[in-house]
Structure 1
Amino acid sequence: MKKKRVLILFGGYSSEYEVSLQSAYSVIVNMNSDKYETILIGITREGKWVRYYGDIAKIPTNTWYKNEEYCIPVVISPDRDTHKVIEFSDKYDKDKHIKIQSNENIEVKCIKNSHIKEGFVKETEFDIAFPIFHGKNGEDGTVQGLLELAGIPFVGCDTLSSALCMDKDKAHKLVEQAGIKTPASFAFSMPYKLNEIIEQARHISYPLFVKPVKAGSSFGITKVFEEEKLQEAVENAFLYDDQVIIEENIDGFEVGCAVLGNDELIIGEVDEIELMVEGGFFDYVEKYNLISSKIHMPARIDRETTMRIKETAAIIYRTLGCRGFARVDMFLTSCKEIVFNEVNTIPGFTSHSRYPNMMKGIGLQFADIIDKLIQLGLEK
């Protein structure tokens, strides 16, 4: 059987760059080498795109980009006739990084023009792209739009659903229209009038959350307990996005649900986040270190509530047009009411991350998830 050639995209011009490196490494090492051949494209913190030929162990340590010999400038071709990446090099060395392998459908051309100095172009075709970005400039529909423009099959949600899920304000409004409870909230952009923001916040009551509208991994989020701290929290949130949302604090705990599929959905086990510090929240430090929190999988809830959460997750997934996979995060109140929080269209994907562990809870191993995601991407 001919191997599928999978284009792995990682890194990115994003505050969640390092999280992407961890997820990408886990996906790469768990891909079945008998089924797939990988092509790696890394995007540096500064936004430079390169094809990476080096040791994959250098990816999670963020040292992958330091040896330029193994990082060749690259672009994805927007030509819809073929799915390919194009590399540019000022030299051709058949024994090193641009060696042509016999099983690759590659053209090498000598070029010279006003934009690229004399050198070589290498074209490599592939079957499907697997974006493994987190946050802005990767999970928000930007890269998905590029892939759709080029007619390239890819893993995960499309441009529109990726953008909607990244936008907390619009996602909440759509989910609320579907009949699911959402936190009371309001959004605003610069310039804003502080006295008006303070007045609106009083209707929500304290404590409340101040968040960037479009950011992930809890970057820029502050839990505000008193009015005097509101302006500082707003200014902090504006460091991460040009829109800010102020949300009601939900009295309960967070639950998550992993969803896999396009039309027919596979719903993973439900997990629960236990915060062991009163008044805290699941911020960036807690998400990746679990210093004062625990993740219980499965969640410590009864079967009937578990089924309601799964059903709600499926409704949210479909309402926001998700495809491929996503993690739907909700709150469960003391009255067992389900309240929508957010959708992560490219959830953390390390062996310790919530999404693969929730799928493991229903019997799907990491490699099985990857197989299914690639299959779903090729179906779209």
Structure 2
Amino acid sequence: MDSTPTPQSPPPAKRPRVAIVFGGRSQEHAISCATAASVLRAIDRESYDVIPVGITRDGYWVQAADDPAALEISGDRLPEVADTGTQVVLPLGVHDRTLTVARPGEVPATLGEVDVVFPLLHGPFGEDGTLQGLLELADIRYVGCGVLASAAMMDKAMMKTVFTSAGLPVGPYVVITDARWRTDRDGVLAEAGALDFPVFVKPARAGSSVGISKVTGPEGLAEAIESAREHDPKVLVEAGIDGRELEVGVLQGRDHAPPRVSEVGEIAVTGGHDFYDFGAKYLDEGNVELSCPAQVPDEVREEIRRIAAVAFEAAGCEGLSRVDCFYADDGRVLINEINTLPGFTPYSMYPQVWAASGIAYPDLIDELLQLALNRPLGLR
């Protein structure tokens, strides 16, 4: 009888555990929920264990149901994270990445160790470096840009400073701080009124086109600034550029390789939207058309992609970013902004330009998670 031991199969590899964090305290709470619905549907469950963690509008971290349908935008209904009566607690000790969940009157239970967080929070208290700092303190890897890049690129005024320091061309703009508006309103209006109209008035630290107004003459400036200030006391006024707005997605390179840049995309908005505003982005997607690759000269395409890569590295971005540029009627290419946590539903620009460049939505999620899992902790 053969006594040779039967070879044993190696134990199955442990699947990385991903905490998908969404919701939050910003005006973009509903958009974050809709993004989480898309990621929960598309993530490869054979490759990753998933823990959905919601943050309520009041800032409570709760254990959320793994139910994409409940988080989707449906007609005019905007989803939100409900207070489930639980409290999810992050570890703050180095090398302990175990999430716990507490319920009133019960002993806290463990949700297991988390290998990586996929933050899907848009706007302040999520996209602006605050969550990233919390995760750095907890010694937990996460998808996307770090503290500095997230904070600096969330502030559109600071973003412009970084761009110009890197030698990148930007359009004319005026920054209006809370102090300037309160103490020198006439001077602010005169400075902003000297820009070429139309102008776009924006909260300096918001996204998803929340609080943005297009103003066609000086008489509309004060009202637009007050509207933007409802979202942020710091406001940016940008001169309109005669031309086209073009966008690319940027992915961090593997193993210190240069960043990867997608094909150039262009959005066309119809259905009564004057520009690509919140309603066009999220409530009326049927009147938004994407052309990718955009019909532009080869030299313009390459200049946009070059600018995007330079901006990504100048800002110290990691993981992903979307870069928006203007192709002016006079032939200039100007950078408008970087979004370090761009819209991430399958219909958002960032996944769409990568899909047109050969990376499907589920594969894009996997690539971002792998980049995060392979990133060192601490200073880098």
* Counterpart code for 1:154: Y
Match status 1:271 vs 2:265: yes
Structure-1-length-normalised TM-score = 0.87
Report deviation, 1:121.
4.0
- Asked whether 1:151 is paired with 2:163, we answer no
Cα deviation for residue 335 of structure 1 reads: 2.6
Change in Cα spacing, 1:227 to 1:331, as seen in structure 2 (3 Å) is: same
Of 277, 281, 302 in structure 2, the residue corresponding to residue 283 of structure 1 is: 277
Which region of structure 1 is more displaced relative to structure 2, 186-195 or 242-251? 186-195
Q: CA separation in 2, counterparts of 1:237 and 1:335?
A: 30
TM-superposed CA distance for 1:254, in Å, is 0.8
Q: 1:290 to 1:120 in 2, by over 3 A?
A: closer
Matching residue within 3, 13, 20 for 2:32: 20
Pick aligned residue for 2:220 from 225, 229, 251: 229
Structure 2 unaligned regions, length at least 5 = 1-12, 376-380
Alignment-derived partner of residue 104 in structure 1: none
Q: Match for 1:144: what amino acid? A: Q
Query: TM-score scaled by structure 2?
Result: 0.87
1:125 aligns with 2:113: yes
Deviates most, 272-281 or 150-159: 272-281
Matched to 2:353, the amino acid is M
Q: 1:56 to 1:209 in 2, by over 3 A?
A: closer
Aligned residues of 2:33 and 2:81 also touching (Cα < 8 A): no
Change (3 A) 1:293 1:360: closer
Q: 1:2 matched to which residue of 2? A: 14
- Residue matched to 1:38: 50
Q: What letter matches 1:375 in structure 2? A: Q
- Of 203, 212, 223 in structure 2, the residue corresponding to residue 212 of structure 1 is 203
Q: Map residues 71-110 of structure 1 onto 2, 5 A cutoff.
A: 72-90=86-104
Matches of residues 312-327 of structure 1 in structure 2 within 5 Å? Answer: 312-327=307-322
Report the 3-state secondary structure (helix = DSSP H, G, I; strand = E; otherwise coil) of the residue aligned with 1:308: helix
**Structure 1: stretches of 5+ with no match in the other structure:** 93-118
Counterpart in 2 of 1:257? 248
* CA distance in 2 between partners of 1:64 and 1:210 (Å): 28
Higher strand share: 1
Q: CA deviation at 1:202?
A: 3.2
Would the aligned equivalents of 1:204 and 1:248 in 2 still touch at CA under 8 Å? yes
Q: Give 2:190's aligned residue.
A: 199
Match of 1:184 among 162, 165, 172: 172
Structure 1 letter corresponding to 2:220: K
Give the structure 1 partner of residue 59 of structure 2. 47
Residue in 2 aligned with 1:111?
A: none
Match of 2:365 in 1: 370
> Identity over aligned residues, as a percent?
36
RMSD: 2.0
SS of residue in 1 equivalent to 2:141: coil
Aligned equivalents of 1:141, 1:319: Cα separation in 2: 17
Distance 1:278-1:185 versus aligned 2 partners, 3 A rule: farther
CA displacement at 1:64 relative to structure 2: 7.2
Misfit runs of 4+, over 4 Å? 61-67, 275-279, 290-293
Task: Report the CA distance between 1:298 and its aligned residue.
Answer: 1.7
SS of the aligned residue for 1:269 comes to coil
